[in-house]
Amino acid sequence: MLQPIAVDLKSLSDALADAQSIAIGFTQAIKNLEKNPEKKLEKNPDKEEKPEYNFPSHLKLIEKLEETFEIDLRDELAFFAATGKAGEIFEIPVSSNQFVADRILLIGLGDESNSAIRQAGAALGRKGRGKAVTIASLCVSDEQQLKAFAISVQLGAYIWTQKTGPTQEIPLFLFHTDSPVVINDASTIASAISRTRDLIHTPSNIKTPLWLADEAVKIAADSGLEVKVLAGKELAEFGGLRAVGNSSPKPGPRFVQISYHPKGKKKSAGILPHVVIVGKGITFDTGGVSLKRPYEFMTAMKSDMAGSAAALGAISALPYFQPQVQVTVLMMLAENALSGTSQRPSDVITHYGGKTVEVLDTDAEGRLVLADGLAFADINLNPDYLIDIATLTGAATLGLGRQHAAMYTRDEKVAKSFSEAGERSGDRVWHMPLVDDYKQALESPIADLSHITSKKHFSAGSVTAALFLEHFAGDRTWIHFDIAGVARSESDSGENPKGGTGFGVRLLIEWLTSLS
């Protein structure tokens, strides 16, 4: 895992003394008649309105830097015709015997919203990515914005590679704050996301269900979490997990259960809220007998375990934050392969808890493994909140694009709390409807349910997938996240590298810590 290191310092002078570059955030405001209506009659048509540039943080120090380096930053910005758009960067060479720094990076902060601050942070991270440079930031001072900015800096600088050769260089970013915990929090969250991305990017010839289970055990041990793994005959009741995972019998599917309890609290149920998170963990998805076409659709399928990876990444950070809530993560790990032991369209399987399901499309395998996990949690773990997270349907991507995950729940209050957590964290979600009229689409003449719409005139694939999963959640407060559109980026831009994004880690950490 390669990531930049965030360091909090006691004074800005320490940061500037060590830095090779100094990053300064700026905004732009155009003076116009709407803001100055009283000047309407005085306007000179031959005189252009000039943009006004502002430096929202550490202004006195910035003025001192201008004096030391004998530079007028506003003039420089005017020369570049800077717009102030979030993430816009201009590089100014400087020289002074008082500082190591040989350049100033001017970074647009947009409208200074949390979204714009994250874009600016990602741009700064990308500026240092893959370089052994030290950059001191004078971009943000507000604590909540600094946390978001520092996380995005590290995400923008993220690299994953299996190339041989020299070790990848890592940048060092320096931040000043009177509350070092802000940077520690940011580093913990960014590390959890980076760890999640590492798992997603690992190719599937390495990342078997056994390998991923072993990685979960290592991460749990490093984080001080309880963990157990089920395999083979221990999975006899998990009909969905076996139906999918036995298509690749060596090593076969795995069920991983990871538990977090706050320090000093008893583990008995009822004392604290209990949240169970079920993650889809398909380590590669060929589609099985219902083989994916065209074949190019298959190349990204090493990321089909992003739900389990996000759940693992989130719970790995909880011992640091110590939220007053019990959390259990269930990772449903399998490979959906094409082989002589693959399930077939028309098979009927029996899920954990006894429900029978007619399989009509083996490429709709994610809901089969999740159904087992949800039923297991409902029957054995008595959760107050039952969550599942999965790269489940292309329909979610068609409906919402790649900026929001689809969220399904019948609890409006919980939906609101997750929407707010998504806006704060940057992992945004959109509350989708569970349309009861569509339930008939899942009727089967030979089993309790069909796992996909057997009636061809129905669409709304993300909705009907959620309705299927709801059958296995009992009467729990259940929330389903379809992250098919947001778990993977098709381009290397902003906070995200091309490939796994680690979506869901920030969202889950933010929401779980808000329950305390």
Could you give the percent of the chain with pLDDT greater than 90?
Answer: 83
Q: Is the pLDDT of residue 80 over 60?
A: yes
Identify the sign of the CA torsion 506, 509, 513, 514. Answer: positive
Q: What is the pLDDT at residue 463? A: 96
Q: What is the average pLDDT across 26-32? A: 72
**103-107, 168-172, 364-368, 403-407: which has the minimum mean pLDDT?**
168-172
Q: What is the average pLDDT across 26-41? A: 57
- Gap between the Cα atoms of 121 and 155, Å rounded: 9
Q: Is the pLDDT of residue 405 over 50?
A: yes
- Gap between the Cα atoms of 126 and 124, Å rounded: 5
- Gap between the Cα atoms of 191 and 189, Å rounded: 5
Q: Is the pLDDT of residue 188 over 80?
A: yes
Band (271; pLDDT cuts 50, 70, 90): confident
Burial of 42 (0-12, 13-18, 19+ CB in 10 A): exposed
Could you give the percent of the chain with pLDDT greater than 70?
Answer: 92
Q: What is the pLDDT at residue 30? A: 58
Band (249; pLDDT cuts 50, 70, 90): very high
C-alpha 284: how far from its chain's center?
20
Q: What is the pLDDT at residue 456? A: 66
Q: What is the pLDDT at residue 296? A: 82
Q: In this structure, which amino acid lies at residue 465?
A: A
For residue 55 the two structure tokens come to 């430096």
Question: Is the pTM for the entire model greater than 0.85?
Answer: yes
Are 253 and 231 within 8 A, CB to CB? Answer: yes
Band (20; pLDDT cuts 50, 70, 90): very high
- The mean of the pLDDT values for the chain is 92
Q: Which residues are catalytic?
A: 292, 367
Closest CA to 1 of 168, 135, 124: 168
Burial of 159 (0-12, 13-18, 19+ CB in 10 A): middle
Q: Is the pLDDT of residue 470 over 90?
A: yes
- Gap between the Cα atoms of 154 and 195, Å rounded: 12
Q: What is the average pLDDT across 79-96? A: 95
